[in-house]
Protein backbone atom coordinates (compact mmCIF):
# COMPACT_ATOMS: atom_id res chain seq x y z
CA UNK A 1 0.00 0.00 0.00
CA UNK A 2 2.83 2.40 0.83
CA UNK A 3 4.39 1.57 -2.52
CA UNK A 4 1.24 2.70 -4.32
CA UNK A 5 1.06 5.92 -2.29
CA UNK A 6 4.69 6.74 -3.14
CA UNK A 7 4.05 6.19 -6.85
CA UNK A 8 0.97 8.44 -6.69
CA UNK A 9 3.01 11.16 -4.94
CA UNK A 10 5.72 10.82 -7.58
CA UNK A 11 3.14 11.17 -10.37
CA UNK A 12 1.67 14.22 -8.60
CA UNK A 13 5.05 15.94 -8.35
CA UNK A 14 5.81 15.16 -11.99
CA UNK A 15 2.41 16.54 -13.05
CA UNK A 16 2.98 19.68 -10.97
CA UNK A 17 6.33 20.28 -12.66
CA UNK A 18 4.94 19.50 -16.12
CA UNK A 19 1.80 21.65 -15.94
CA UNK A 20 3.16 24.63 -13.99
CA UNK A 21 5.77 26.53 -16.05
CA UNK A 22 7.06 28.54 -13.07
CA UNK A 23 7.24 25.57 -10.69
CA UNK A 24 10.77 26.45 -9.50
CA UNK A 25 9.48 29.83 -8.25
CA UNK A 26 6.61 28.24 -6.31
CA UNK A 27 8.68 25.89 -4.15
CA UNK A 28 10.59 27.15 -1.12
CA UNK A 29 13.92 28.88 -1.71
CA UNK A 30 17.02 26.76 -1.14
CA UNK A 31 19.56 28.65 0.96
CA UNK A 32 22.38 26.14 0.34
CA UNK A 33 22.34 26.40 -3.46
CA UNK A 34 22.00 22.65 -3.90
CA UNK A 35 18.73 23.00 -5.79
CA UNK A 36 20.31 25.32 -8.35
CA UNK A 37 23.22 22.93 -8.80
CA UNK A 38 20.91 19.97 -9.42
CA UNK A 39 18.60 22.05 -11.61
CA UNK A 40 21.45 23.20 -13.85
CA UNK A 41 22.82 19.65 -14.13
CA UNK A 42 19.42 18.25 -15.12
CA UNK A 43 18.82 21.11 -17.53
CA UNK A 44 22.21 20.71 -19.19
CA UNK A 45 21.97 16.93 -19.61
CA UNK A 46 18.19 16.63 -20.03
CA UNK A 47 18.40 14.53 -23.22
CA UNK A 48 20.08 11.72 -21.26
CA UNK A 49 18.46 12.26 -17.86
CA UNK A 50 14.89 11.99 -19.12
CA UNK A 51 15.51 8.40 -20.23
CA UNK A 52 16.94 7.48 -16.82
CA UNK A 53 13.94 9.05 -15.09
CA UNK A 54 11.52 7.23 -17.39
CA UNK A 55 13.34 3.92 -16.87
CA UNK A 56 13.31 4.34 -13.09
CA UNK A 57 9.57 5.05 -13.12
CA UNK A 58 8.83 2.05 -15.36
CA UNK A 59 10.90 -0.22 -13.10
CA UNK A 60 8.96 1.00 -10.07
CA UNK A 61 5.61 0.29 -11.69
CA UNK A 62 6.66 -3.05 -13.18
CA UNK A 63 8.37 -4.07 -9.94
CA UNK A 64 5.11 -3.78 -8.08
CA UNK A 65 3.65 -6.74 -9.95
CA UNK A 66 6.43 -9.00 -8.62
CA UNK A 67 5.49 -8.35 -5.01
CA UNK A 68 2.94 -10.75 -3.61
CA UNK A 69 1.76 -10.32 -0.08
CA UNK A 70 0.94 -13.31 2.11
CA UNK A 71 -0.18 -12.94 5.71
CA UNK A 72 0.61 -15.59 8.31
CA UNK A 73 -0.73 -14.70 11.79
CA UNK A 74 1.43 -11.80 13.06
CA UNK A 75 4.11 -12.06 10.36
CA UNK A 76 4.03 -11.04 6.72
CA UNK A 77 5.99 -12.85 4.06
CA UNK A 78 6.92 -10.96 0.93
CA UNK A 79 7.99 -13.00 -2.07
CA UNK A 80 10.05 -10.75 -4.31
CA UNK A 81 11.24 -12.43 -7.50
CA UNK A 82 11.67 -15.79 -5.79
CA UNK A 83 13.36 -14.52 -2.64
CA UNK A 84 11.65 -14.57 0.75
CA UNK A 85 12.00 -11.46 2.88
CA UNK A 86 10.58 -11.64 6.38
CA UNK A 87 9.19 -8.32 7.57
CA UNK A 88 7.52 -7.58 10.89
CA UNK A 89 4.42 -5.41 10.71
- Say if residue 22's pLDDT is above 70: yes
Query: How far from 72 is each of 40, 67, 78, 81, 86, CA to CA, in Å?
Result: 49, 16, 11, 19, 11
CA atoms within 13 A on the CB side of 72: 9
pLDDT at residue 11 in the model? 86
- Say if residue 16's pLDDT is above 50: yes
28's CB contacts (< 8 A; 6+ apart) are none
- Say if residue 49's pLDDT is above 60: yes
pLDDT at residue 33 in the model? 82
Mean pLDDT, rounded, for 5-30: 83
Amino acid sequence: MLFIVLIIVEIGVAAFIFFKPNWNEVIAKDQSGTFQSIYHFLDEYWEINRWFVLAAFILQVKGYKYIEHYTNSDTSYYYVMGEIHLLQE
